Chain A
Amino acid sequence: MSLSEAEYMVQENSRTLLRVENLKKYFPVKGLFFTKGYVKAVDDVSFTIEKGETFGLVGESGCGKTTVGRTILRLIEPTGGRIVYEGRDVTKFRKNEMGWFRKKAQIMFQDPYSSLNPRQTVFQLVMEPVKHHGIGVDDPEDFVVELLELVGLNEGHLYRYPHEFSGGQRQRIAMARILSLKPDFVVLDEPTSALDVSVQANILNTLKDIQEDMDLTYLFISHDLGIVKYMSHRTGVMYLGKIVEVGESDRLFEEPLHPYTKLLFSAIPVPDPDIEKSKGKIEVQGEPPSPINPPSGCRFHPRCPYAKEICREKEPEFKEIEKNHQVACWLY
């Protein structure tokens, strides 16, 4: 371990579980013979997650929020940047350390119809991680049943296959599988967007209960603003591979600063049609630009109603406007 890293460990706030610094992920676009360019899916993203909190990550489709989640777990190798977990740089982990990290950090996927191996029974699915990491379990059946009951399933489901379950139940199986390792950190990659609304609420509440019971830290990725507001303590807003605003969810949703955040939040439909009409939507100009050739300066400037000359030329820096509320915009 290098000296600078040792220094980090001292400096590290004891409440910080995960610190992402200047994370980059570029996917090469291959031509016939040469690489034609790069999709900058994640470009210079930094944030920290504290122990026991839920950090929400919102943004429209294709903004790179899922890539961030996967890169943190090194399911995708990052192009650049550091991922510091409990004071240790994940990007430099070797095999043994990865084994340790895989036990600590888990991911729950969006689509429960493809995230469970159709050829494994619930028992096998839940036992597999435990077996692989060689964690001793007195009675495997009791162990699995306990986990199943924790996530709202029961003993009768033990030897069934995934196709015999509904979407919500499958997501619960996925939960049990993740929890079998007793992780500290879980990436929730749109865990409810494949489910219908009534089931969504159940799953979200179960996730919240489990977080309290097992003292988990969540990175909650979603495009559904209502859900993010409900779930997360702090929220980061992503646009085209960059985080444009981070803040405590209550403040952020009440008083968004970045024009993109404002635009995004104004798109949340209000159930009352009178308010809906009167609240005055911010008009969106154009489509989100291609991440292969992102616009110069602030990436949002072509669509931004407040764009100035400087927005076209220079990239705004991340500024702390008020306590725990940062934004990257030339307006502030």
Chain B
Amino acid sequence: MSQDEYYRGILDRISDAFIGLFVYLISTIRKGWREKNRSRIAEWKLMFYALNRSPPGVIGLFLVTIFVFLGIFGPLIAPYKYNYFPIFENSKTYLSPPGEFFVLGADHFGRDLLSLLLQGARTSLVISIIVILLGVPAGIILGLIAGYFGGKIDELIMRITDMFLAFPPLILAIAFAAVLPDRISYLINTYPPLQQFLLWLFALERTEGGNLSRLLAVMIAMAVVWWPGYARITRGSTLTEREALYVESARAIGLPSSKIMLRHILPNIIGPILVYVTLDFGTVVLTEAGLSFLGLGATPPIADWGRIVYDGTQFFPNAWWLIIFPGFIVFLDVLGWNLLGDALRDVLDPKLRRSIEFKVKKVKKSKTKDMEIKEVEHE
């Protein structure tokens, strides 16, 4: 057995164990779930096997897992708070290089760069999730409607989509950042629970209520320009899928169009959309960092990767760590999502899964044969 197969075997076993644990947890809550979903569980295992056969995909999943983990727990494990300014206590912390006071150095407020990066992981994760949660469902629904009904509805929706695609997102973001924050801050100040929820999401303290609205304005600007891509790919897939006989069969039963779209067409076209979403997680991180770099969005003391780089440009190249480290982190995050997205393309392709099913079975068979031969030799 080659080295490759050995590692793959380990990965396969890890993913099997992971799925096993998941299945065990569900079936303790819902009795009989395992029996009813045997085929589905087998399919999940195959998906992981397919992923395990693509080294970039495994790396991508690894990176993404780390960044999601940091996004959730980063602010909690950060050694210092983002709004703690050591410079007031010790002026030597001002732009102190890595290793002097802090592992990764400090910024011009003497804040620990590592803590800022950990805090920034939360900011970027929450922003990507919100932008995608706002933009993607809207795009999917519009694309489904356009593709399924066709004709004039299709024409109308797609021309509006084209208009949004033609609009430069950067200018829209700048306009939104200029106009929206006042209204948003008014809105969230009138609903304290909403404000508290948002502060909790970003792991910020109560004093940052005012800064929050600027972040939200940029997020809304991004969500507004984010859906057209999804409307397009969803429409394209819907156009081919609506001709499938199972759609006609659903109509023959009398299902209304809404149910046919959501229950029958959507699950069958979700593969390419998921790939797109994964790739977009990276793009949103990048775009958001870019907007912050331009001075839109997050403002100090909110920790944001793009903002750290922006502030760091004033002190470059002396304080190189302020640009190199956050830049590298953004690079790794985007790389992880992209690698994972590319691998998902294969993982979500059912035809490819079949061929992997065949290979896995063959490997298992040959293994048992090897063992038999060895046993015979021993005798």
Chain A residues at the B interface, C-beta cutoff of 8 Å: 70, 73, 75, 98-99, 102-103, 106-107, 109-111, 114-119, 121, 123, 128-129, 132-133, 158-161, 163-164, 174, 177, 181
Contact = CB atoms under 8 A, between A and B. Distances in A.
Contacts of A181: 253
Interface in B238-253: 244-246, 248-253
B253 A114 contact: no
A118 B40 CA distance: 12
A119 B268 contact: yes
Contacts of B249: 107, 109, 115-117, 174, 177
B99 interface: no
A329 to B, nearest CB: 35
A121 B267 CA distance: 13
A102 B245 contact: no
B253 A128 contact: yes
B289 to A, nearest CB: 37
A102 B253 contact: yes
A174 to B, nearest CB: 8
B38 A117 contact: no
B377 interface: no
Given A75-B251, A128-B253, A159-B36, A118 B245 contact: no
A70 B248 CA distance: 10
A57 B264 CA distance: 31
Of B245, B267, B268, most buried by chain A (CB within 10 Å of CB) is: B245
B254 interface: yes
Contacts of B251: 75
A117 B266 CA distance: 11
Contacts of B245: 109-111, 114-115
B254 A98 contact: yes
11 contacts: A109-B245, A111-B245, A117-B250, A118-B268, A121-B36, A123-B36, A129-B253, A132-B259, A159-B35, A159-B39, A177-B249
A140 to B, nearest CB: 11
Contacts of B248: 70, 75, 107, 109, 115
B37 interface: yes
B35 A132 contact: no
Contacts of B259: 132
A161 to B, nearest CB: 5
B255 interface: yes
Q: Which 3 A-B pairs have the closest CB atoms?
A: A102-B254, A115-B245, A119-B267
Contacts of A161: 39-40, 43
A107 B252 CA distance: 7
B358 to A, nearest CB: 13
B246 to A, nearest CB: 4
B150 interface: no
A75 B252 contact: yes
Nearest to B246: A117
Contacts of A119: 267-268
A123 B254 CA distance: 19
B254 to A, nearest CB: 3
Interface string B29-68: 0000001111110010000000000000000000000000
A95 B268 CA distance: 28
A75 B253 CA distance: 10
Interface in B4-31: none
Nearest to B255: A132
B254 A114 contact: no
A126 to B, nearest CB: 11
Nearest to B353: A163
Nearest to B265: A117
B350 interface: yes
A75 B127 CA distance: 45
B245 to A, nearest CB: 4
Contacts of B268: 117-119
A106 B249 CA distance: 9
A73 B252 contact: yes
B239 to A, nearest CB: 15
Contacts of A98: 254
B39 A116 contact: no
B252 to A, nearest CB: 5
A39 B244 CA distance: 22
Given A119-B268, A121-B39, A114 B244 contact: yes
A107 B259 CA distance: 19
Given A121-B39, A161-B39, A116 B253 contact: no
A73 B245 CA distance: 15
Contact of B246 (A102, A103, A114): A114
A159 B39 CA distance: 7
Nearest to A119: B267
A76 to B, nearest CB: 10
Contacts of A177: 249
